[in-house]
Amino acid sequence: MNGGFELLAVALLYWLPGAGLVAFAWPELHADHRHDRLSRFAVAVATSLSVRPLLLLWCKTAGIAAGPWLAWSPGLVGGALLLATTVRRTRRGTPAPHARAGAGVGWVDLVLVATIGMVVLSRWLAVRGLVVPAWGDSVQHSFVTQLLVENRGLFESWAPYAPMESLTYHFGFHSVAAAWSEITGADAPTAVLWVGQLTGIAAVLTLYPLALELTDGRRAAGAVALIVAGCVSPLPAFYASWGRYTQLAGQALLPVVVLLLDVVCFRPTRSPARRLLLAALLSAGLGLTHYRVALLAATAFAVWPVAALWRWRATPGEWLWRAGAVVAMGAGAVVLVAPWLGVLDDGLLLAVHGRIAAIDPAVFSWSDAWRAWSSIPTGLSFPTLAILGLTAAAGIALRDRAVFLILAWSATALLATNPFSLGLPGMGFVTNFAIGIAAYVPIALLVGAVAAHLVPLAERRAGGRAALAGALLLAGGLGFPARARPVAAEFQLATPADLEAFAWIREHTPADAHFQVDVGLGYEGKTAVGTDGGWWLPLFTRRSSTLPPLLYASERMDEKLRHDVWVLPTWIRRSAKTPEIYAKASHRNYCYQGVTHVYVGDKRGAIGPNDTPLLRPEWLARNPALTLVHETGRAQVWRFDRSSCGNWRQNMRPKT
HEC readout, 337-364:
HHHHHHHHHHCCHHHHHHHHHCCCHHHC
Residues 440 and 522 in one domain: no
Q: Rounded to whole angstroms, how far apart are CA atoms 241 and 127?
A: 9
Q: Which residues pair with 527 in a beta bridge?
A: 522
- What is the structure's pLDDT at 378? 60
Mean pLDDT in the chain? Answer: 92
- Rounded-to-integer distance, Cα 239 and Cα 249, Å: 11
Give a three-class secondary structure readout of 179-191: HHHHHHCCCHHHH
Query: Per residue in 30-72, pLDDT tens?
Result: 989 999 999 999 999 999 999 999 999 999 999 999 999 999 9
Report, as ranges of residue numbers, the positions in the chain whose pLDDT lies below 50.
99-103, 651-656
347 shares its domain with 436: yes
- Between the CA of residue 599 and those of 224, 286, 542, 584, 619, what are the distances in Å? 49, 39, 14, 18, 14
My answer on whether 286 and 387 are in the same domain is yes
Asked if residue 467 and residue 540 are part of one domain, the reply reads: no
What are the φ/ψ torsions at residue 528 (nearest 5 degrees)? -80, 135
Note down the domain range covering 420: 108-484
Among 484, 504, 526, residue at a domain's last position: 484
In this structure, is residue 237 part of a structural domain?
yes
Return the pLDDT at 387: 86
Burial class (CB in 10 A: 0-12, 13-18, 19+), 536: buried
Cα 38 from Cα 312, distance rounded (Å): 31
Distance CA 608, CA 64 (A): 41
Q: Which pLDDT score, from 0 to 100, does residue 568 have?
A: 85
**Euclidean distance between CA atoms 603 and 488, whole angstroms:** 13
Listed residue (113, 140, 278, 155) closest to 196, CA to CA: 140
State which amino acid sits at residue 413: A
Instruction: Please tell me the predicted confidence (pLDDT) of residue 547.
Output: 96
| Residue 355 falls inside a structural domain | yes
- Which residues, in sequence order, are bridge partners of residue 545? 515
Tell me whether residue 51 is in a domain.
no
Residues 6+ apart with CB under 8 A from 477: 118, 231
Integer Cα distance of 248 and 227 in angstroms:
17
Residue type, 3: G
Contact partners, residue 556, CB within 8 Å, separation at least 6: 164, 165, 166, 346, 347, 348
Instruction: Tell me, yes or no, whether 39 lies in a domain.
Output: no
> Are 474 and 554 in the same domain?
no
Query: Does 79 map to a domain?
Result: no
The answer on 356 and 427 residing in a single domain is yes
All residues at 6 or more sequence positions from 526 whose CB lies less than 8 Å from its CB, including other chains: 566
* Residues 140 and 239 grouped into a single domain: yes
Q: Which residues pair with 597 in a beta bridge?
A: 515, 639
The pLDDT assigned to 43 comes to 98
Check residue 370 and give its pLDDT.
86
Pairing mode, strands 544-545 and 597-600: unpaired
- Strand 635-640 vs strand 626-632: parallel, antiparallel, or unpaired? antiparallel
pTM: 0.95
Q: Is 247 within 8 Å of 207 (Cβ atoms)?
A: no
Smallest CA-to-CA distance from 73 within 179, 164, 1 is with 179
Q: What is the pLDDT of residues 188-230, one digit of tens each?
A: 999 999 999 999 999 999 999 999 999 999 999 999 999 999 9
The count of structural domains within the chain is 2
Mark whether 608 and 472 lie in a shared domain.
no
Quote the pLDDT of residue 572: 80
Q: How far apart are CA 114 and CA 223, in angstroms?
A: 10
Q: What is the pLDDT of residue 656?
A: 40
Burial class of residue 478 in the structure, from the number of CB atoms within 10 Å of its CB (0-12 exposed, 13-18 middle, 19+ buried): exposed
Same domain for 454 and 480: yes
Residue 135 backbone dihedrals phi, psi, to 5 degrees = 65, 180
Residue in 273, 207, 214 with CA at minimum distance from that of residue 34: 214
Give the pLDDT confidence score for residue 97 in this predicted structure. 59
* 531 three-class SS: coil
* Statement to judge: residues 438 and 554 lie in one domain: no
Whole-angstrom CA distances from 276 to 84, 262, 265 are 22, 12, 11
pLDDT value of position 383: 76
Predicted confidence at residue 134, as pLDDT, reads 97
282 falls within a domain: yes
Task: Give me the DSSP letters along 596-623.
Answer: -EEEE-TTTT-SSS-SS-S--HHHHTT-
Q: Is 40 among the domain residues? A: no
In one letter, which amino acid is 276?
L
What confidence score (pLDDT) does residue 99 get?
A: 47
Domain boundary among 427, 459, 484: 484
Q: Are 122 and 237 in contact (CB under 8 A)?
A: yes
Helices (H), 151-244: 172-184, 188-205, 207-214, 219-227, 239-242
In the three-class reduction of DSSP (H, G, I as helix; E, B as strand; rest coil), residue 529 is classed as strand
Q: Is residue 57, in this structure, part of any structural domain at all? A: no
Give the separation between CA 192 and CA 525, rounded to whole angstroms: 28
Cα gap 617→583, rounded to integer Å: 11
Residue that terminates a domain, selected from 449, 484, 519: 484
User: What pLDDT does 100 receive?
Assistant: 45
Q: What is the pLDDT of residue 611?
A: 66
> 222 and 264 share a domain?
yes
Preceding amide of 160 cis, omega within 30: yes
Shared-domain flag, residues 272 and 174: yes
Which alpha helices (H) appear in 290-423, and where do they start and end? Answer: 291-311, 316-343, 349-357, 366-374, 382-397, 401-417
How would you write 416-481 as a 3-class SS string? HHCHHHHCCCCCCCCCHHHHHHCCHHHHHHHHHHHHCCHHHHHHCCCCHHHHHHHHHHHHHHHHHH
